[in-house]
Structure 1
Amino acid sequence: MGEPLRVLYIDDEVDLAESVAAFLERGDDRFEVETVPDASEGLDRLDAREFDCLVSEYDLPDGNGVELLTTVRETRPALPFVLFTGAGSEEVASDAISAGVTEYLRKGSDPERYRLLRNRISDAVDRGRAEREYREIFEEVPDGIVVHDVADGEFVDVNEEFARMFGYERDDLLAAGFERILPDEPPYTPERARQRIREAADDGPETFDWPGVTSDGERLWVEVHLTPLRPRGEERVLAVVRECTTRKERERDLERYQTVIDTVPDMAYVLDPDFRFALVNDAMVDVTGYPREDLLGAHASLLFDDEAIDEGEWNRDRLRSGARESERLETRLETADGERIPCEIRGDLLPRGGEGEWRGTTGIIRDVTERKERERKLQARSAAMDASIDGMAILDADEEYVFVNRAHVDCYGYDDPDAFLGETWRMCYGPEELARFEEEIMPELFEQGDWRGETVGVRADGSTFPQELSLSLTDDGRVICVVRDVTERKRRERGLERQNEQLEQFARVVSHDLRNPLNVVEGRLELAREESESAHLDSAADALDRCLTLVDDLLTLAREGRRVDEREPVDLGALAEDCWRTVDTADAALVADATRTVRADRSRLKQLLENLMRNAVEHGGAGVTVAIGDLENGFYVADDGPGVPDDAADEVFEPGYSTADDGTGFGLNIVAEIAEAHGWDVAVAESPAGGAQFAITGVDADE
């Protein structure tokens, strides 16, 4: 049996009232029902004892149920009230709802109406009890408690502590609304507060600090913990609020102080009177290798040995005697990994406390090792500049030389570096280049911070030479110059240009002056074959085919050579199938097991594969089998033909090498050129079937 459910039923139809009471008690043994005939006696009973629910007819001898409800609500706002009437109407129902009725139910002769009444009473009482328990807990919690409507962030309920926290009475705060206690300054705006509430409803609990405004306009920082709620299907967010103004102020002060000392490039510290670290900056953590939490509270001896402590004891005696500054102390610092580094310490006395007590020291520790390392690196850099094969110089803000290395002196044909010092860079260039420097190079240098290109320098004897020049502007206005004499490179480039011109001329001759007569011969041979069946004509035709193939190979070498165009992803297996269809393979067979996709110039890779396939058929015969497959960093093309002689493995890629009667000797040379143009390596060895296997490696896969 559960907790008793005490019901007061007011109805002037006494027999009906007793029947209803009996039905309620018989259906649920928790029910204890008392009946009275009018409103006056009902109010007396309410004053005499506690009831969990009041049930009333609308038509009563001394008034009506809505008037009774209004009277009850004045003293018992939470008492469940069920209007159970046989004289109901829409108007009665509307008046009852406006007065705050808990349930409205029409009478009827069907027992189902009584069961429905019992259920409505039971539900109303359970809700009321839960509401009372919730309110008791709500007010007992020492923190501020708020229930927010997710839709607009408004207060659904607040406890007394929350209202007190902001200087309001609870009812006044509920009436004032959500925005009354919020600042309106980015990022702490009312709309952002609503967004945080919606985020908690969607994503789950979260905790953050937020500023509020009290009734007298003061700023109040609070820690807010939001939790989503869904009572009776409604979407709510519960906020537990705790004042944290003092903590926020301490955090801000500490943050400001920590920010200040973290900007100091040297190690900075605060020691308490017991020589324990109370504050350290980022540099202290970085240099010593100790986490901040290990340093804070640790004695100074963690970093400094007894000799250092005894030597000056951070100048404690001097500081205690009243001196404001300490002398610099040279000592040694030991890092977390045991490294001992020389350092320089300068300390100062913290302001005395209210009673004049000594509060400790603050100081700066400078790592002298870093300074010495910089000096060593500067010396090494100077030595490296002196040893450099490129000319190197430094100009000051007035564009005068303050440093030149030996290579710079030699580059311009001088004997002594002193010839440059105190002079400007203009001594190294002729009139035309000086104009270019003034109009183009120097403006770009000062705008972009650097310049790199080719210029023409003037040597001490007046001769000129081409040079690569790199200029860099430093933060203090100096200019770093790097000069390289490119005379030999230019000479080689001119030679290559002449060779390219000759190759292009050769290609024109081969393409036009040689191919045209061969085409004429080919046509005449066809006419001769129609008139005669001489075997000599077949031999001539074979020789002519070889000549035309040779012309094609020579043109490929002359015009393509080691050039590749834009690379793209290429399906190796699919390309091999395409190549096989364009090569005269007779009865040869292809096994394409390659699955790799490579980045390559498709047309040149196609030419490479066709040449290797053609080579296999030419040397292996009509029935040869050609296989193409993947390697770990490339692919292979293999056959089951006679293979390559061991002593010829290094010669097969040379121009003109061939063991076939009708070979040109350039097919494999073209393969080597294409591979090299892609940055690949190609090598030949015996295949598993005893033939030749060409391995192409160093190939970039397309991921």
Structure 2
Amino acid sequence: MDGAVRTLYVHDVDDAAAVPPGALSESDELVVETTHSVQEGLDRLSRDTFDCVLSTYELPDENGVTFLRHVRDFDSELPFVLHPSSGTERVASEAISADVTEYVADDFDKAADKCRQLVDHIVEAATSTPNDIEAKVRELTEATDDVLWLLSADWEEVLFVNSTYADLWGHSERALRDDPTSFVEAVHPDDRPRAEAAMDSLVDGESVDIELQVDPEEEFRRRVSVHAEPIFDRDGSVVRIAGVSRDVTEERARQRRLEEEKRTVDSIFDALPDVLYTFDAEGYPLRWNEQLEAETGYDADELEEMYVTEFVPDDETETIAESFRAVVEDGRTVTVESALERADGERVPFEFTGAPLRDADGNLRGLTGVGRNISEQRAQQRRFEAVFDNTYQSTGLLSPDGTLLEVNRTAAEFASRDREDLIGEKFWDASWFRTDETAHPIAMEAVETARNGEFFRDQLTIQAGDREAVIDLSMRPVTDEHGEVDLLVAEGRDVTRLFQREQQLRVTNRFLRHNIRNKLNTITGHAKLAAEHDDRRLRPAVDTIVEAADELSATAETAREIHELISEEPEPRTVDLSERLDRALATVRNRHPEAELVVQKPESLAATALPSVHEALAELLEALLEHVTTDHPAVDVEATADDDDAVVTLSTPDCRLPAAERDVLTGDIEIRQMRHARGLGVWHVYWQVWYAGGTVELTDDDVQVRLPAD
């Protein structure tokens, strides 16, 4: 060919990947004219003569292979170069079947190289002889693993088939050329009716896509995908049939494996009691198990359209949105407790876990996670807390090594510490056991005994905030399903009051045994003297008997009052201390008319005390009067309010209580100690004030009774 190659370039004007016509026109070897659709190209070819056609694959009305078939309907020799922007092996096979001259894949590194080589291919296609073109087509068809074939419309002649046919179908090329319909013999008997129906469809001008089991030598285990197209002449009659057959055996095997794996995974997903889900990076569901539909009450179509925050109530959306961003933006794994809102509006407590969802290349695609209904867990927790925290005894849960895992409210309040401060400590190192040197080893012994599967119980003194307390401590092991100890339960019951009441009763009994015995001995001895001698000398003895009897009677009465006081836990209440003081003064004035009592008090004064506090005040006044050293005893009595206390002050410069009485009143003597104080009276005063939460304070001249103000 002399001169430049006149080329019709057909491409989509909106195809940014297409080679610009101007770039091709820069070559002296080409004269380029352009059209932008299949129909425009056919119109130009019907009016003008061109040496070659260059076409892209993607065109506005049809594609480049279809355009090639139309061209071949009226010109079987016009050079045709197909240059797809993004071609595939299937496109190449279809182009070869349609008798393309050159198929130029878009695999150039540089735009300049692309344009130069494309020009070379156009020039070569336009200047090659038919034999050259046929050789190149043969070379191209033999390079593919697909079977490319071209048959006459009546299935009488094989116009073209590449050598891959025999290997793929298990049927010889010679047999096919002898009888083009004999390929059916290589098809599984079950698929032959569909193959024959496809042949009829092609003859009738219909395209065919079919998958067949082929190759009798392989027991028809090979699967072949067949795509075939009828080729029409200008009159619309089928003149040829072109097709491509591809081995999809491995592809189908992979699909079956994937489907089996998917069914297995789906069955596992749906068998789980928890909700499983995946969301894309935009926040919309990709996949979920049946449990999500059961929990939410939404069907699959509704779930598919829901955004991630639409699964929770309005007051939880921000929390869920922040957690979702933490996963898809920061790549973190998060767990959050929230609520799932069902379709009917019901809130259900849920724990949601989310982790990054990545593809095979490690790119983040979204979120995958598990949602767990924790309604029963919450209910169990509430029941546990109701029992655990609403008991008067201190309770704790320990690991077998003695570490505190949980304590109830009573135990924390007993230690005057926050619960969080106690958790994590060793049981024996907690503040309860730090003051008494015997408490620490007892606590260690309790843990060791329970850890070995035995029950432990003992009574010990511990530190309870700012006071010492006596507790009944027990430690019980809890075992798992294998019988191994995995928890220890510690219980401590405050028995301080009970312990002290027992000691108080012991003191009362000791007093009764000691004083009454002595007085009775006195009575007995003097009574014997009186019985043996009836004269004036017996008068003092008789008087002594009477006095001792009176004292014994008073002691018995005081003992009775104390017994009534401590036989049951006394309940302090609000009393008018001024009124109770008046009653005490009346009692003392009746018994001691010689005493001068100077009183200053308000009309009323509220205080927390036992209802019988007037008896204690009378006892205290009498104790002072008993030890006054003058013939005319006087006591100043004053009742006032002082900060948080109601105070009764008794003052007399002529009285000095013995040390034994002073120690009893101030609590500086242990209850179990036996000290011969005045008698039960001062103990009565001390216990009355102590049970009310008050104190007795003494100076050289004053005695103060301090009771909590109401």
Provide the TM-score with structure 2 as the length reference.
Answer: 0.30
TM-score normalised by L of structure 1: 0.30
